[in-house]
């Protein structure tokens, strides 16, 4: 019987273990913390559903769909409310809805006249050199102009990805945009082509929600995976050393201050890169590029208000606050507008994001100062009166891996380690994207690779 050790019980590790189990291989999952799920954590407090990490799963695909079906989670899922897909952007102390039509673009005050004229030039801007790696900010300025960079792409990076647009790599973080430019010559022509393709396909396939969660939060997914693997998960057990020899891998773990060893044929590592870089591995390998990947601090501040305290309609998904606006906030998710059962009847839940690579010091503010600063920012924008009836501050000292310019060195290092260390594999949100779905698919793909080394027949 083949033995597999999986380091880390986040969504990648749990998914890899689950798919291996489906193919008759019972992997052992080691988790240093006292719970599974990694950064995914959902908790209901005083009638509010608080997400300590991601609050949605972006997109659906055959693998994710199959997983939901096998875990009996389809009935527990809930799609993001369709009208909420609109975003609001802050400029000049006011909220402006992201224009969704040509008419809205003409009338919006989100962009100045010169900014609109520059955006309209986008189809005529020559495609960039595909061999030259650009930051997201440089790409956006080249294609969309300064305002397009500051008020379109920039806020997405600072809020959703906790990144710095001046350092984030367009090639590694937003590869799709770079590919659209190269294939179609411009973003606008590419988006028009994609819209026409979607229109042609409309009605040929059942509609799938692009964004979804669960009634009790994203942790529902990792809990279901953990339940399916419960007797193969070792909590409060940190892997401190990996040693390879002709017989396979000796995995040294530490629990309750005591070290123990066990032998495995294969190791799948899914812990964050800063933890992996500190892990003792024999034979030794250069993990310098991994240790250089930034995981900036991030604060999430959940605030509950009575509905009558908030004058804004809260229609839409969220509001983004561009870095150039100089506010403490980077984004506010209208949690109770996006999904049902996020707040008690007659109340609303706002989840606020502070910090990230563009402003790490703000994330580290004490709770009292952070609450005051956020309410000061939110009040005029959302027409809030009075104090919140619910407050929960969640601080992440390491948030998301930063796919900065030069990230190719990181991916090369990962591939080199897998090539030089027999039976060693890596999966996580540092390979194919940082979203929950990307991490899930990374775990599935890694399980496939492990299975392909054991049997010649194709693996689903």
Q: Are 229 and 18 in contact (CB under 8 A)?
A: yes
* DSSP symbol at 130: T
Is 57's pLDDT higher than 60?
yes
pLDDT, one tens digit per residue, over 427-436 is: 999 998 999 9
- Per the document, the length of the chain is 460
Backbone angles phi, psi at 430, to 5 degrees: -105, 5
The overall longest dimension of the chain from CA atoms, in Å, is 69
CA 167, distance to chain mean position in Å, is 18
pLDDT tens for each residue of 268-292: 999 999 999 999 999 999 999 999 9
Q: Are 32 and 238 in contact (CB under 8 A)?
A: yes
User: Which of these, 173, 180, 167, lies nearest to 130 by C-alpha position?
Assistant: 180
Q: If you search the block for the tokens 């900010």, which residue do you land on?
A: 137
Contact yes or no for 21/13 (Cβ under 8 A): no
Q: What does the pLDDT read at residue 230?
A: 86
Residue 85: predicted pLDDT: 60
User: CA 192 to CA 190: how far, in whole Å?
Assistant: 5
Q: Which domains does the chain have, with CATH numbers?
A: 4-40+220-293+403-454 (3.50.50.60), 111-201 (1.10.3110.10), 296-396 (3.90.660.20)
The C-alpha R_g of the chain, in whole angstroms, comes to 23
| Bridge-based pairing state of the strands 4-7 and 42-45 | unpaired
pLDDT digit string (tens) for 10-19? 999 999 999 9
Bridge partners (DSSP) of residue 264 are 249
Alpha carbon distance, N-terminus to C-terminus of the chain: 21
Nearest to 382 by CA among 282, 283, 307, 275: 307
The DSSP element (H or E) to which 117 belongs, if any, is helix 113-120
The lowest-confidence range among 99-108, 372-381, 390-399, 424-433 is: 99-108
Q: What is the pLDDT of residue 345?
A: 97
The confidence band for 124, taking pLDDT boundaries of 50, 70 and 90, is: very high
Site of tokens 């953990």: 226
What local confidence, expressed as pLDDT, does residue 398 receive? 96
**Nearest residue to 59 (alpha-carbon basis) of 176, 147, 196:** 176
- Alpha-carbon distance of 178 to 167, in angstroms, equals 16
Six token digits for residue 43: 């908790």
Phi/psi of residue 264, each to 5°? -140, 155
β-strand partners of 58:
211
Instruction: Identify the DSSP state of 135.
Output: B
The DSSP 8-state label assigned to residue 271 in this structure reads S
Residue linked to tokens 């990648």:
12
Contact 387, 380 (CB under 8 A): no
- How far is residue 403 CA from its own chain's centroid? 12
- Cβ atoms of 251 and 244 closer than 8 Å: no
Lowest mean pLDDT among 116-120, 190-194, 297-301: 190-194
Task: Compute the mean pLDDT over every residue in the chain, rounded to the nearest whole number.
Answer: 94
Residue 88: predicted pLDDT: 94
Q: What is the pLDDT of residue 459?
A: 47
Q: Find residue 254's DSSP bridge partners.
A: 238, 259
**Tens digit of each residue's pLDDT (9 = 90 or more) over 175-214:** 889 999 899 988 988 888 887 887 777 655 554 557 899 9
pLDDT at 93: 93
In sequence order, what are the residues at sequence separation of 6 or more whose Cβ sits closer than 8 angstroms to the Cβ of residue 82?
A: none
Confidence of residue 66 (pLDDT cuts 50, 70, 90): very high
Residues 336 and 311 sit within 8 Å (Cβ to Cβ): no
Residues 376-403, mean pLDDT to the nearest whole number: 97
- Model confidence pLDDT, tens digit, residues 219-240: 999 999 999 998 999 999 999 9
Three-state DSSP at 21 gives helix
Helical H runs in 149-218? 154-160, 170-173, 175-184, 187-201
Residue 306 and residue 42 in contact, taking contact as beta carbons nearer than 8 Å: no
Quote the tokens at residue 364: 């580290």
Q: How confident is the model at residue 458 (pLDDT cuts 50, 70, 90)?
A: very low
pLDDT on residue 320: 96
Distance between CA 415 and CA 429 in Å, rounded?
15
d(CA 327, CA 381): 12
The span from the CA of 161 to the CA of 366, in Å, is 23
pLDDT of residue 202: 65
Residue 357 CA to residue 159 CA, distance in Å, equals 10
d(CA 385, CA 306): 10
Using the 8-state DSSP alphabet, how is residue 3 labeled? Answer: -
Q: Could you give the CA distance from residue 176 to residue 66 in angstroms, rounded to a whole number?
A: 25
CB crowding 362-399: b at 16 or more within 10 Å, else e: bbebeeeebbebbbebbeebbebeeebebbbbbbbeeb
């Amino acid at each position: 019987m083949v033995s597999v050790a999986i380091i880390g019980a986040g969504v990648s590790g749990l998914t890899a273990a689950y798919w291996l189990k489906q193919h008759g291989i019972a992997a052992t999952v080691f988790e240093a913390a006292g719970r599974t799920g990694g950064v995914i954590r959902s908790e209901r407090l005083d009638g509010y559903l608080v997400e300590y990490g991601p609050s949605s799963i972006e997109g659906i695909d055959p693998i994710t769909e199959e997983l939901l079906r096998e875990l009996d989670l389809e009935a527990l899922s809930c799609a993001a409310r369709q009208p909420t897909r609109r975003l609001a952007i802050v400029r000049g102390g006011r909220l402006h809805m992201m224009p969704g039509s040509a008419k809205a673009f003409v009338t919006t005050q989100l962009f100045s006249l010169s900014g609109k004229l520059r955006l309209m030039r986008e189809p005529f801007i020559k495609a960039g050199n595909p061999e030259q790696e650009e930051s997201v900010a440089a790409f956006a300025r080249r294609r969309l102009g300064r305002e397009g960079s500051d008020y379109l792409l920039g806020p997405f990076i600072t809020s959703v990805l906790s990144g710095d647009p001046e350092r984030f790599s367009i090639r590694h973080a937003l590869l799709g945009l770079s590919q659209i430019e190269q294939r179609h010559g411009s973003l606008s022509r590419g988006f028009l082509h994609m819209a026409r393709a979607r229109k042609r396909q409309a009605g040929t396939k059942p509609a799938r929600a692009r964004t979804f969660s669960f009634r009790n939060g994203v942790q529902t997914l990792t809990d279901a995976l953990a339940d399916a693997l419960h007797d193969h998960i070792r909590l409060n057990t940190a892997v401190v050393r990996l040693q390879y020899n002709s017989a396979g891998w000796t995995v040294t773990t530490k629990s309750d201050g005591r070290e123990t060893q066990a032998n495995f044929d294969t190791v799948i590592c899914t812990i964050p890169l800063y933890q992996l870089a500190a892990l003792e591995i024999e034979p030794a390998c250069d993990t310098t590029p991994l240790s250089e990947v930034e995981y900036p601090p991030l604060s999430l501040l959940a605030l509950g208000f009575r509905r009558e305290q908030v004058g804004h309609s809260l229609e839409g998904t969220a509001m983004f606050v561009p870095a150039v606006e100089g506010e403490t906030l980077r984004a506010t998710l209208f949690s109770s507008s996006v999904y049902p059962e996020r707040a008690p009847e007659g109340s609303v839940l706002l989840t606020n994001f502070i910090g990230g690579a563009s402003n790490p010091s703000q994330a580290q503010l004490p709770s009292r100062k952070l609450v005051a600063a956020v309410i000061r920012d939110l009040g005029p924008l959302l027409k809030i009166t009075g104090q919140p009836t619910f407050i929960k501050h969640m601080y992440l000292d390491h948030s998301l891996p930063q796919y900065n310019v030069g990230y190719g060195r990181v991916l090369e290092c990962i591939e080199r380690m897998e090539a030089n260390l027999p039976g060693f594999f890596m999966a996580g949100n540092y390979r194919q994207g940082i979203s929950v779905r990307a991490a899930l698919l990374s775990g599935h793909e890694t399980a496939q690779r492990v299975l392909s080394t054991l049997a010649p027949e194709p693996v689903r």
